Amino acid sequence: MINISSISKEYVMGDNKLLALNNVDVSIKEGEFVSIMGSSGSGKSTLMNIIGCLDVPSNGDYFFRENNISKFSSNKLAELRNKDIGFIFQNFNLLPRLNALENVILPLLYSGKSSKERTKLALLALENVGLKDRTHHRPNQLSGGQQQRVSIARAIAGTPKLILADEPTGALDSNTSLEIMKILNDLNKTGITIVLVTHEDDIAKYGSRIIRMKDGKIIEDKKNVPH
Amino acid sequence: MSLTDLIYLSQKSLRSNILRSVLTSLGIIIGVSSVITMISIGTGARLEVEQQIERFGSNNLILRAQSSNSRGVSMGNNSVNSLTLKDMEALKNELPAIAAIAPRVSLSTQIIANGNNWLATVTGSTNDYFELGNWKFEIGREFQEDETISGSRVAIIGKTVQKNLFGEDSPIDEVIRINKVPFTVIGLLEAKGGTAWADLDDTIIVPLKTAKQRLVAKKFPGDQIRSMTINVSSSDLLFKTEADIDTVMRKLHKISANGNPDFVIRNYAQFLNARQESSRVMSILLATVAGISLIVGGIGIMNIMLVTVTERTKEIGVCMSVGAKKRDVLLQFLIESLMISLIGGCLGIALGLGVIFGVSEYFNWKMSLDYMSLVLSFVFSSSIGVIFGFYPARKAASLNPIDALRYE
């Protein structure tokens, strides 16, 4: 599904050049649950942003489902993010003015679906994360765990092939973290590929494969038997 | 993303900060209300001038006797009515540009009829008076030749006189007593309506000879008259004729070119021009205010939209991460600034209507609401919104998704 060959990402900060990714090769198959680990500055977030088509590599090729993403225009990338990829962020990134249902509908607005279909898909997604009775609450009326579930619903509403989770439990207590990880696990079982970025071992262990990064390079890539 | 969705999202974010949205549109509010008021004053003035011409007739000059002043001292009553029918004949003969002249004597007196009392202005004149003054007959007729020559006691009355003496009943063939002299009503004039100064319909017209013999014999002895309305054959000749009349009258009355004349010539065209000019100045002033406040308002919108884009950078990043294209973001912010300026436009129209209503009510200015001005205001305010909203919107759309998302 994902095929990354020798990509690099360089940031220029004043006179210094920072190599966030240094010749990284990785491929991820459909249905995998990959945890990417590493300390801050290891390049794990940069890698995830490139996988998620939010950022483009300075060098190298990225094939997503046989398409060479490096050649895509910003409009085509936006379309790809809309149709095939779902994002889950550490601090949820919900729009404060919109209620839960409207937040979940947001990606569907950009996909050109009819208003009836959008509402149906969004309600289904909210039901899947157990928030059917919170559809008209605003983010500030929801707990952290509930907000994260809304953002998961937003990520899955458009039935994506790939979900990218950037420290999804970073702002949550351990019980709520377990709930969120269970939801992600269940989603993986339905065939959705999941790429998770974390620095917590407990969280990374949910993955079927764990990649460790350091200084912009992959230093370990091993199979894992999830508990 | 459809237009309805964009509008829905825009109103959502505008409503989350109503006070800011309204304050932002303040410049537009003032600009649009000025535009509306300006156009109303302009059209109102034009209409009023047209109505005045309708009322007083066009191309008319009024020649009136005036007490001549000698070293600042009035020479008294006897010198007042120095205008005579001889002057009128002389003017007619000497100036071919004059098409017609209606002489006039007048007095204000008590009228009694039908058991009612009324104070009205009585004019003695000829049939020319009706044509030159643009008077039309509702019922009845003008003076007949024999009535003019013999000095018959016949009268033609205005609408106000009819109402006060006869109510809605026809006054024709009724007898009214003017200064105790009985007159038979032979005609009723159509209403002209009031002006700012006088009710034109509060009038009675009798033949000149009758008036001079029976009503104003003492006030206007011999062939003296109070004034004459002089109709000039074309408007191009109006000002030249005014000067010619002055020359002829000075010759007739033996007044030197720089001496104080015992007459005065009123030119309505001049008066109307002055009026039109003053409302034009007012309009230019308001147009300047409107222009400046629309531009300042536009800059205000741009300023707030730039702040909004910065404030919502992270939100823009979120939208982009879930699939918003540059175009979607651009349209979203353009529609927001368009909505702000349209809200301003609507409030401005409301304010403008209020000003128009207030001014015409309390200052008795004639103002006319033009529907074109409403359309114009909408066009103005929406183009301001689009023009000044474009730069911030483009700035938002050109954000890099990952930078926007990371923005704190």
Angle among Cα B135, B136, B141 to the nearest 5 degrees reads 110
Q: Do A74 and B326 touch (CB under 8 A)?
A: yes
Q: For residue range B352-383, what is the model confidence (pLDDT) as tens digits?
A: 989 888 888 887 766 777 788 888 888 888 89
Q: What is the pLDDT of residue B333?
A: 94
Q: Classify residue B375: in a domain, yes or no.
A: yes
Residue type (1 letter), B382 = S
Interface list for chain B against chain A, based on CB atoms closer than 8 Å: 1, 5, 9, 12-13, 16, 314-315, 317-328, 401-402, 405
Chain A, window 46-65: residues with a beta carbon less than 8 angstroms from a chain B beta carbon: 49, 52, 54-55
Of B12-21, B36-45, B133-142, B327-336, the poorest mean pLDDT is in B36-45
How does pLDDT run across B244-294, given as a tens digit for each residue?
A: 999 999 988 888 888 888 888 888 777 777 777 777 887 788 888 888 888
pLDDT for the residue B377: 83
Residue that finishes a domain, picked among B203, B238, B261: B261
pLDDT at B3: 84
Average pLDDT over residues B240-247: 91
Residue B191 lies in a domain: yes
Q: How many domains does chain B have?
A: 2
pLDDT at B366: 67
Taking an 8 Å cut-off on Cβ atoms, the answer to whether A95 and B16 are in contact is no
Is residue B257 within 8 A of residue B123, CB to CB? The reply is no
**Looking at the predicted structure, is the pLDDT value of residue A227 above 70?**
no
User: Residue B8 has what pLDDT?
Assistant: 87
**Does one domain contain both B181 and B227?**
yes
The whole-number average pLDDT for the span B122-144 is: 91
pLDDT of residue B81: 61
Residue B394 lies in a domain: yes
- B364 shares a domain with B239: no
CB proximity A73 to B under 8 Å: no
The whole-number pLDDT of residue B77 equals: 45
- Structural domain includes residue B113: yes
Same domain, B238 and B287: no
Supply the range of the domain harboring residue B179. Answer: 67-261
Task: Dump the DSSP string for chain A.
Answer: -EEEEEEEEEEEETTEEEEEEEEEEEEE-TT-EEEEE--TTSSHHHHHHHHTTSS--SEEEEEETTEEGGG--HHHHHHHHHHHEEEE-TT----TTS-HHHHHHHHHHTTT--HHHHHHHHHHHHHHTT-GGGTT--GGGS-HHHHHHHHHHHHHTT--SEEEEESTTTTS-HHHHHHHHHHHHHHHHTT-EEEEEES-HHHHTTSSEEEEEETTEEEEEEE----
How far apart CA A6 and CA A62 sit, in angstroms, is 9
Residue B125 domain-assigned (yes or no) = yes
Query: Residue B75's pLDDT band (boundaries 50, 70, 90)?
Result: very low
The answer to whether the Cβ–Cβ distance between A154 and B322 falls below 8 Å is yes
B15 and B114 fall within a common domain: no
- Final residue in a domain of this structure, among B261, B284, B312: B261
B57 in a domain, yes or no?
Answer: no
Q: Would you say residue B73 has pLDDT above 80?
A: no
Are B134 and B225 contained in the same domain? yes
Residues B255 and B142 in one domain: yes
Q: Is the pLDDT of residue B174 over 80?
A: yes
* Position B62 pLDDT exceeds 60: yes
pLDDT > 70: what percent of chain B? 93
Q: Would residue A93 be called left, alpha or beta, if left means φ above 0 and alpha means ψ between -120 and 50 degrees? A: left
Same-domain status, B28 and B149: no
Last residue of a domain, which of B261, B295, B327? B261
Model ipTM over 0.85: yes
User: Which has the higher per-residue pLDDT, B368 or B336?
Assistant: B336
More confident residue, B287 or B397: B397
Q: What is the predicted pLDDT for the residue at B196?
A: 55
Judge whether residue A190 has pLDDT over 90: yes
Q: Are B104 and B226 in contact (CB under 8 A)?
A: yes
With respect to residue B293, please indicate whether it lies within any of the assigned structural domains.
Answer: yes
One domain for residues B143 and B115: yes
Interface residue of B3, B17, B322, B408 to substitute, partner A, most A CBs within 10 Å: B322
Q: Are residues B15 and B157 in the same domain?
A: no
> Model-level pTM?
0.72
Which amino acid is present at B12?
A: K
On whether the CB atoms of residues B110 and B161 are closer than 8 A, the answer is no
What average pLDDT does this structure show over A137-164?
A: 93
In terms of domains, do B387 and B359 share one? Answer: yes
Mean pLDDT computed over B34-48: 81
- Domain membership of residue B59 (yes or no) is no
Residue B21 pLDDT > 70, yes or no? yes
Domains of chain A with bracketed CATH: 29-53+78-223 (3.40.50.300)
Average pLDDT over residues B108-135: 90
Interface probe with A: pick from B321, B331, B403, most Cβ of A within 10 Å: B321
Position B297 pLDDT exceeds 50: yes
pLDDT of B9 reads: 86
Same domain, B233 and B310: no
Nearest CA in chain B to A103: B319
Q: Let me know: does B66 contact B264? Beta carbons within 8 Å.
A: yes
The answer to whether the Cβ–Cβ distance between B325 and A78 falls below 8 Å is: yes
Q: What distance in Å separates the CA atoms of residue B146 and residue B157, rounded to the nearest whole number?
A: 20
Pairing of strands B116-125, B98-113: antiparallel
Percentage, residues of chain A above pLDDT 70: 100
Poorest-pLDDT segment among A64-68, B76-80, B190-194: B76-80
The pLDDT value given to residue A26: 93
Q: Are residues B345 and B280 in the same domain?
A: yes
